[in-house]
Structure 1
Amino acid sequence: MAAAGAFGLMEAFGVFTGGLGIFSFVQHNFIDYRPQGAGYRFAVGLDGAGPWGNGLSNAGGNLPDIRAFNELGDLLGTTINDKSYCASGRTDCDSEVDFVHQQPTYTLFTANNDAICLAYATVTFPEGSKYGWTGNWAKHCGAPWYYSDIYVPNNKGADKVLCAWMDGNGDQPITGIQVHWPDYDAGFKGNGNSADFYCHHPSALTFHRDHDPWRVHVRRSKRDMFASDPSTETKRVAEAPKDDAKSTEGKHTEGLTERMARDTRLIKSKATSHLATELCASPDSVGPSFVSYHERKFCHMAPKHIYSFCEDVKKGDCWDDAKHEIVHKSEDGPVKRAAVPAVAFNQTLLWGQ
């Protein structure tokens, strides 16, 4: 089990472009040990844009609801977080599931109304074991993702972790995330040293796409949690009361991608691992338009189109980083507004300082 000492490291499997790697979580990444329940800590890469171009329902994104299960898939406890908010960049967003005395090896995070992009989630079991999960898995497994300005030490030299989007308000792909914590411990052998294991084994990781998910995938047989791969089944837990605030029945809803296309925030990053070209090229990336100072390029996220800085081109459409505009540059020097829909930003976030 992953039991970190007071000042020790907890190592967790993560995924990078080159395959599996190891993230090293330290004590401040976890909620304090509490024997009467399970403690969860979230780091938020970004909160979402409000519907129809408006602001969020409240400041920040909703923390997900938490359902904790034991190794057999029995429900141990639930915490509803529809009134708990956490803003972009926070790494100390805590939640607890009380009266949990067994090991909650499975957790189902269920999205609430305001979208949130999780950079990482950690858990502290009642007996003190600790585990961690990072949002990098979203990009690798084809779920909505974005960059974050949150750093977790690792053995691959990568810069910041990615974040995984969740949203329960509208037609957004990912409404919940299931994690089997021991499968992310650096001592786990059942993944065959392959990152793809997690994308194809729903008991280890599931990005739920159904409305307000409440089921969990479990492995059929009792086993040592570090054994080789067994088969899985879906465990049907007691259905929670319907949350009318989450219901989209009879409503005309708007998806997260459409909302983000009208996001008036602009992200500018100096991090070398943050690439505007990568963000624009990915069919699964979702979030505000993005400037990479390492590449000197701008990704206009609504059409997923790349523009170079105007200083780097002789002619054509380009990005004026001082004016925050897409402009057209001619060979003889004059610059005018480009023949593309105007972009307007009322908030700029600078990352990687």
Structure 2
Amino acid sequence: MPRHQGREFYVANSMAGMMPTEPAEVVAYPRKKAELMKSRFSCAALNWGPPSNQYKYLHPLPASTKTAAMAGNAIAFLLTALTMVPMVSEMFPHSQGSSTVVRVAAGLSLPRDADYARTGGNTPSIALFDESGERIGFKSGARHGKIGDGNFKDIVVEPINKGNNRAPAYLSVSSSGNDALCIAYIYITPPNKEFWGFFGDVPKECGAAWYHSNLPVQRQSGDPFKPRCFWIDSPEHDTGKTTSNFPQGAGIHLLDFAATQGRVQQYQDSRDTMCASAPRFSLYSSLTEMNCLPIFNPPLTYNDDGTDASLAALKTPGQVMCSPGPNDKPTAQQIRQLQQWTSGRVSAPTYGVKKRSVKSRQNDRVCFADHRVVVVSEHGDHTATELCKSTSAAGPDFVSTKEGLFCDMCTGELWPLCSQAVPTGCFDVDLKAMRASNGTVTGTGLHARDVITGRDIPEKEYKKVVHWK
């Protein structure tokens, strides 16, 4: 448990980065004397990081006072796409004794048929570490099924030491099987009933393979938003590579993704402070629940607004406090030790399974052409332009009805949707095909050129249209 001069602290009445309805002072005082201060705005805070010489660690209120503190169902702000999103407590899993519950949600999947691409996949593996880099617990996703289309699964991680109910500071999530998973969000509820969250928008901003999702996330007020999702996958048995070089997993320093206005501004001004510090967030080509993560050693310190006290401290590969480290294959002895800790519940990693076909074109764009699926979205935040302009976007062809544009994910080209004003050289949503300059519909094996732009009209023939509203 983080401490300040040997004593545990709580925060009441307000928190940096949240806007109270009236001026309110942030008050820190020892746990033994903690009393909930009534105000028009108060909430349980997400952790921000270890304290330094000043009070900088905002710790959640005790469970006995949490209900009163969560007035208006607000719990905290989470970071998504370099903005702050006020969340509601009902979005998070319920605590389960001494275990930590991790909720992982897949972006809305495409059809389950093997012929079709999808953004659902195998239940991932989870590993949790404390601020000193020591293992809290881990759970293999192998033989635990799949996360259904647009759904989530709660993964219960039991502590290695039953008496250890520390909240995790670091989390790893990794692929456990042969179906790639596009993760929209991760919610964490430790035994002390803190709440943590992580959205797929962050990996997307850091260059991870991503796609839109149709998974609505309810915020404190206003319409739900739909986060992007990021891809993880297991390596192939024969090549040791994942589908289109998707990472096998990610390591996350949870404390650094509870949003404050200062932190959001820092990440906006300097993206590297979010993406280029390995202990803060990193993607790994080889990672399972058996691998340990690099940590900040010594721990980071933070300013009162949540920003980093020292940007130089971020420029580190981190220190791995247990073994094996990321991208290292565990030895037989390490596997036996981990199995003893979990009473044999952990499976030895296979490091490769046979993969389905996913195309990577000569321009390094990743598309699912063989699956012949197109996604048609009416959601205003889903743009075909964003997908086509992003070199890291990966997924099926995409139509934005709000934009009136079609994104050919294999080439990165945008085409207008057919209308009275644009009858040719366009994508016909009803016919699920491109329309050539002479008005004919192109399909597999048919070639045409747009007389207006001179571009080759792509051959498109779909078996399935997925409609997102």
TM-score category by the smaller chain? Answer: 0.7 to 0.9
Change (3 A) 1:69 1:255: farther
| 1:212-251 to 2 correspondences below 5 Å | 212=288, 214-222=291-299, 228-229=309-310, 230-231=313-314, 232=316, 233-235=318-320, 237-239=322-324, 240=330, 241=335, 243=348, 245-247=350-352
- Quote the Cα distance in structure 2 between the aligned partners of 1:343 and 1:42: 34
Q: CA deviation at 1:335?
A: 3.0
Q: CA deviation at 1:95?
A: 0.4
- Quote the Cα distance in structure 1 between the aligned partners of 2:234 and 2:293: 17
What SS does the aligned partner of 1:329 have? coil
Counterpart amino acid of residue 36 in structure 1: S
Match of 1:95 in 2: 155
Range that drifts further, 265-274 or 342-351: 342-351
Match of 2:138 in 1: 78
Match of 1:163 in 2: 229
| 1:1-353 to 2 correspondences below 5 Å | 1-2=45-46, 3=60, 5-6=66-67, 8-16=73-81, 20-47=82-109, 54=115, 60-83=120-143, 84-90=145-151, 92-99=152-159, 101-112=165-176, 113-152=178-217, 153=219, 159-170=225-236, 171=242, 172-187=245-260, 193-195=266-268, 196=271, 197-210=273-286, 212=288, 214-222=291-299, 228-229=309-310, 230-231=313-314, 232=316, 233-235=318-320, 237-239=322-324, 240=330, 241=335, 243=348, 245-247=350-352, 257=360, 260-311=368-419, 313-314=421-422, 316-330=424-438, 334-337=439-442, 339=447, 340=457, 342-352=459-469
Q: CA deviation at 1:245?
A: 3.6
Q: CA deviation at 1:173?
A: 2.8
Change (3 A) 1:312 1:212: farther
Q: CA deviation at 1:270?
A: 0.7
Higher strand proportion (structure 1 or 2): 1
Range that drifts further, 189-198 or 216-225: 189-198
What SS does the aligned partner of 1:247 have? coil
Contact (CA 8 Å) 1:12, 1:133: kept in 2 or not?
Answer: no
- Quote the Cα distance in structure 2 between the aligned partners of 1:223 and 1:346: 52
| Structure 1: segments with no counterpart, 5+ residues | none
Q: CA RMSD in A?
A: 3.3
Q: Give the alignment's TM-score, normalised by structure 2.
A: 0.64
Counterpart amino acid of residue 173 in structure 1: F
- Quote the Cα distance in structure 1 between the aligned partners of 2:375 and 2:101: 31
> Any idea what the Cα deviations from partners look like across 1:3-31, whole Å, max 9, x if unmatched?
48456323244243xxx311222223211
What SS does the aligned partner of 1:133 have? strand
Counterpart amino acid of residue 260 in structure 1: F
Larger Cα-atom Rg: 2
Identical residues among aligned pairs (%): 21
Range that drifts further, 180-189 or 200-209: 180-189
> Any idea what the Cα deviations from partners look like across 1:138-189, whole Å, max 9, x if unmatched?
2211111111112333899994211111111443232111111111123596
> Any idea what the Cα deviations from partners look like across 1:233-292, whole Å, max 9, x if unmatched?
1315334548454326xx798667557232332211111111112211110000111110
Range that drifts further, 2-11 or 282-291: 2-11
Structure with more relative contact order (C-alpha pairs < 8 Å, separation 6 or more): 1
Q: CA deviation at 1:47?
A: 4.4
Q: Give the alignment's TM-score, normalised by structure 1.
A: 0.84
What SS does the aligned partner of 2:395 have? coil
Contact (CA 8 Å) 2:186, 2:197: kept in 1 or not?
Answer: yes
- Quote the Cα distance in structure 2 between the aligned partners of 1:43 and 1:348: 22
Counterpart amino acid of residue 301 in structure 1: M
Change (3 A) 1:217 1:253: farther
Q: CA deviation at 1:198?
A: 1.3
- Quote the Cα distance in structure 1 between the aligned partners of 2:111 and 2:301: 43
- Quote the Cα distance in structure 2 between the aligned partners of 1:252 and 1:87: 19
Change (3 A) 1:315 1:253: closer
- Quote the Cα distance in structure 1 between the aligned partners of 2:411 and 2:224: 28
Q: CA deviation at 1:64?
A: 1.4
